Structure 1
Amino acid sequence: MRGVQFGRTLAAAAVGAADLGEAYTTAREIGGRYNPQRWYKRWSARAESVRDAAEQAHVAGHLVTAHQCYLRASEHYRQAYFYLRTDLDDERLRDSYQAHCQTFARAMDLLGHTASPIVATEVAIPFTTSDRRIDIHGWLFRPAADDRPRPTVVMPCGYDSTAESGWGFAQGALARGYNVLSVEGPGQGSTLIVDHVYFRSDYETVLSQILDWLVTVPGVDNRRLVAVGRSFAGYLVPRGVAGESRIAAMICDPAQPDMGAKIPAGWKGRIAAPLMTALSRVSRERADFFGSRMACHGVRTIAEYFRELTSFTMIDRASEIRCPTMIVESSGDPVGGQGEALFAALTVENKRLFAPDPSTGISGHCGGLGQRVWDDVVYDWLDGVLADRIGIPASGLFTDPIGGRR
């Protein structure tokens, strides 16, 4: 998984949120062994160095440099705490997470001093349950500084992502004239690390309240709301969209409609938790892998975690999904393999299962480093779907009076 995590920083470099030289130099300092302390120290030192450069540039009035450095520092802070997520009270985790958010916010404050037309707004979305009220943290990115109604992508985070790290995934949509709402929680980002509110399997409760807020925001075309679920959101999004009439299209990469199905059946299932518990005692890496996931669900043992996963299923609700759907199943994705099951369970007429050829560059988790190619295929399909919805050619999707220009 360290290769996958380092790959996330390489992908961030493609959108200016990292630098290849900084990334590879830091990786060489860390070395190839699993060493969470060294990982934290080296990425944290890199983050502090780049943040210092940002602050110096800011004071000197070099605002583009400051923007770029703050953005890179944010990615480095995210990497610094990645392997510390087993203990939500670890001060290093909490401090690095806060620095990740703060540096990203400063980068967004300086966007207007760059040539980019993108406007970024930090948002707090009210979320109420039977026993408490919290704010769902997110960032709303818009391709231009106006209130022309545009199609809007709702992009929940994955297991370990943040609303801030959604910046990279948002670029393909923004370049095509979409708004993007990158949103986290419960069980992610601030709702987890600050509020200690854990994942819930009934994500329809969450998505419906997000949409209640979103449809009141100027510049959002309520006829063209799209839900994109990547990584663990490949469960959250289809669960949330089932029975939700306001979503015009859905994209999952990879689809994970039945998390409990990943636990073996029969005697293998009965020994799975004891075996993983025993192996975790002799493997720090395995212990941290399960520990970070247990923390997201608010449980203390692997057995409890496996039981919790059995409630994260929506395959029996697939027929309630009423919108056009694309499912991406990339070769080599370690959490893939359920795309065909969801595809078969869908009853909508307009559905597509996209299994990219690895020779295109799309392979691994969520397509790995092939994000620009991924954007081309997915958003070209989405352009056509939304154009059909309002009865115009796809080429006119962003030039009509409703959509405004790209």
Structure 2
Amino acid sequence: MMKLQFLYPVLLLSSLCSSLAMPGQSSTRRLYDKRNNDTETDPMYQLSKDSDFHFEILRVLGFAPYEGSDIGEVLIAANQIMPGDMESFHDAFHSIATIVDAQSMAIDETKNPTSARNAFFRASTYFRSADFFLHGNWSDPRIYSLWDKQLAAFTSAISLLPVPGERVVLKGDGFDIPAIFYSSGLPGPRPTIIMCNGYDGSQEEMYHFIGKAVNERGWNAITYEGPGQPTVRREQNLGFIPQWEKVVTPVVDYALTRPEVDPLAIGSIGISFGGWLAPRAAAFEHRLVATMALDGVYDFGPFILSKFGSYLESLFHSGNATAFNSYIDEAVQDPNTTTSIRWAIQQGLWAFNAKTPFEWISEIQPYTLSGLTQNISMPVFIGDSQNDIFFPGQAKALAEHLGDISTYHRFTNMEGAGEHCSTGAGVRQSQVVLDWFQNIIQT
């Protein structure tokens, strides 16, 4: 077999896909410009020489304003991570997680509930981060042991909120939906936002991403996970499904049973790949008053396939699974392959519960909003990030297909919000997005 000579990544949130070259093609020819064709230099300080590790470290650092991390702890971990070394990423965050977890256990929750909650939240974040790059080996027991620790720490944390968070399990169509209800603590029915993560993130992360900001505005928040997302993937062995309305509708049903929820002010947020999932559900679930896609995605599967390059795209369409898998597997095994490519493929196989790259790419092709956007009738906020190396151009495409019901907003590098999903600028993003929702529910 001819050696696969180069791959260029297209990052998917903390998910990533790759641009693949035709065998024998010169490695000097760039198929895809990760700066998103923007000539402006990114003003953000890089936390690692490995661009993927930089993003994931920034992701954790960005939770600091909403109790999800502490800056010094994250920087200590960052200093121990070696570019390209996924095990070092695990080791660094597992070390700090263990330290903070021990601190949390030593705090008297009765006397110092806020301190205990802070520590439990941070430990949970660091355990999740330690797990992040382990999914290439499905039999690695740490995938489950670390997750159990992050769940336990997070559950301890939300029990110490002024109004404790409530874990519930909802019934979907052949699967269970783990969810958490965070009450505003205010009397009377309140606006409520349901929210999901994307390709690689958990519902626990959503609290630090925007859930706490929702509560601070006097609204309720409900996080949830569906098939393919971390807890459902682990506990039910289920990969993603394109019919995301089968996940969202039971969550809306549940919200409507809560006296704290205003039935005329329920919104939905999806981040990263969730920026496709949430609009997909909105095409079928019309009890929502608004949907927010951060960042918006119109095509998911077709977009990813297009970034594999013409040779492998043709090979895929030919149905030659053996050859297609051989090229991808060779790239993953090559020690010179970038972190982005190795992780993109490994996480894709894991999250979609696919045994081979060909199976994974086949499964994601139905993930498009083509033919569905005309069924979305509510206002839709579409975030776009100037330096989005995950889904460049997809937010604009979604806005164009939705037309007048969409509000397109571009977050920029110079405001510190230009990374995918405005990672590292959660306060700024929450201000823009939640002010928009406030205007929707007041009109």
Is the Cα–Cα contact under 8 Å of residues 250 and 326 in structure 1 kept in the other structure?
yes
Is 1:384 equivalent to 2:439 in the alignment? yes
Deviation at 1:257, TM superposition (A): 2.0
Is 1:139 equivalent to 2:180 in the alignment? yes
Per the alignment, residue 11 of structure 1 pairs with 62
What does residue range 294-305 of structure 1 map to in structure 2 within 5 Å? 294-305=349-360
Per the alignment, residue 270 of structure 1 pairs with 314
1:364 to 411, 419, 424: 419
Q: 1:191-217 CA distances to partner (integer Å, 9 max, x unpaired)?
A: 101211110011112211221222112
In structure 1, C-alpha distance between the alignment counterparts of 2:211 and 2:439, rounded to whole Å: 19
The one-letter amino acid paired with 1:255 is G
In structure 2, C-alpha distance between the alignment counterparts of 1:310 and 1:13, rounded to whole Å: 36
Identify the range of structure 1 (292-301 vs 277-286) with the bigger mean alpha-carbon deviation: 277-286
In structure 1, C-alpha distance between the alignment counterparts of 2:265 and 2:112, rounded to whole Å: 39
Per the alignment, residue 340 of structure 1 pairs with 396
Per the alignment, residue 331 of structure 1 pairs with 386
Is 1:43 equivalent to 2:93 in the alignment? yes
Per the alignment, residue 28 of structure 1 pairs with 79
Identify the range of structure 1 (45-54 vs 96-105) with the bigger mean alpha-carbon deviation: 45-54
Is the Cα–Cα contact under 8 Å of residues 254 and 335 in structure 1 kept in the other structure?
no
Deviation at 1:386, TM superposition (A): 0.8
Is 1:68 equivalent to 2:118 in the alignment? yes
Per the alignment, residue 312 of structure 1 pairs with 367
The one-letter amino acid paired with 2:76 is T
State the identity %. 23
In structure 2, C-alpha distance between the alignment counterparts of 1:170 and 1:155, rounded to whole Å: 8
The one-letter amino acid paired with 1:381 is W
Deviation at 1:266, TM superposition (A): 5.1
The one-letter amino acid paired with 2:85 is N
Per the alignment, residue 392 of structure 1 pairs with none
1:351 to 406, 422, 442: 406
In structure 1, C-alpha distance between the alignment counterparts of 2:164 and 2:279, rounded to whole Å: 28
Deviation at 1:358, TM superposition (A): 2.2
Deviation at 1:28, TM superposition (A): 1.0
Is 1:248 equivalent to 2:299 in the alignment? no
In structure 2, C-alpha distance between the alignment counterparts of 1:122 and 1:210, rounded to whole Å: 13
2:253 to 212, 215, 229: 212
SS of the residue corresponding to residue 200 of structure 2 reads: coil
Which has a greater percent of helix? 1
Identify the range of structure 1 (301-310 vs 260-269) with the bigger mean alpha-carbon deviation: 260-269
Is the Cα–Cα contact under 8 Å of residues 51 and 73 in structure 1 kept in the other structure?
yes
The one-letter amino acid paired with 1:293 is G
Identify the range of structure 1 (90-99 vs 330-339) with the bigger mean alpha-carbon deviation: 330-339
Per the alignment, residue 280 of structure 1 pairs with 332
Q: 1:234-265 CA distances to partner (integer Å, 9 max, x unpaired)?
A: 11111111032101001111112211232127
CA 1:135–1:243: 2 relative to 1, 3 Å: closer
Per the alignment, residue 396 of structure 1 pairs with none
TM-score, length-scaled by structure 2: 0.81
Deviation at 1:88, TM superposition (A): 3.9
Q: 1:315-342 CA distances to partner (integer Å, 9 max, x unpaired)?
A: 2100000001111111111222211221
Higher relative contact order (CA 8 A, sep 6+): 2
What does residue range 37-186 of structure 1 map to in structure 2 within 5 Å? 37-58=87-108, 61-112=111-162, 118-129=163-174, 134-144=175-185, 146=186, 148-168=188-208, 169-186=210-227
CA 1:358–1:39: 2 relative to 1, 3 Å: closer
The one-letter amino acid paired with 1:270 is S
SS of the residue corresponding to residue 58 of structure 1 reads: coil
The one-letter amino acid paired with 2:399 is F
Q: Which runs of 5+ in 2 are unaligned?
A: 1-51, 317-323
The one-letter amino acid paired with 1:221 is D
Identify the range of structure 1 (38-47 vs 284-293) with the bigger mean alpha-carbon deviation: 284-293
Q: 1:344-366 CA distances to partner (integer Å, 9 max, x unpaired)?
A: 2115x432111123222211110
Is the Cα–Cα contact under 8 Å of residues 177 and 247 in structure 2 kept in the other structure?
no
SS of the residue corresponding to residue 66 of structure 2 reads: coil
Deviation at 1:278, TM superposition (A): 2.9
In structure 2, C-alpha distance between the alignment counterparts of 1:326 and 1:62, rounded to whole Å: 40
Per the alignment, residue 394 of structure 1 pairs with none
Identify the range of structure 1 (330-339 vs 99-108) with the bigger mean alpha-carbon deviation: 330-339
Per the alignment, residue 261 of structure 1 pairs with 302
In structure 1, C-alpha distance between the alignment counterparts of 2:117 and 2:299, rounded to whole Å: 41
In structure 2, C-alpha distance between the alignment counterparts of 1:266 and 1:42, rounded to whole Å: 39
CA 1:9–1:266: 2 relative to 1, 3 Å: closer
Is the Cα–Cα contact under 8 Å of residues 377 and 405 in structure 2 kept in the other structure?
no
CA 1:284–1:96: 2 relative to 1, 3 Å: farther
In structure 2, C-alpha distance between the alignment counterparts of 1:50 and 1:244, rounded to whole Å: 41
Is 1:198 equivalent to 2:249 in the alignment? no
Q: Which runs of 5+ in 1 are unaligned?
A: 113-117, 389-406
The one-letter amino acid paired with 1:26 is A
Is the Cα–Cα contact under 8 Å of residues 152 and 178 in structure 1 kept in the other structure?
yes
In structure 1, C-alpha distance between the alignment counterparts of 2:199 and 2:108, rounded to whole Å: 34
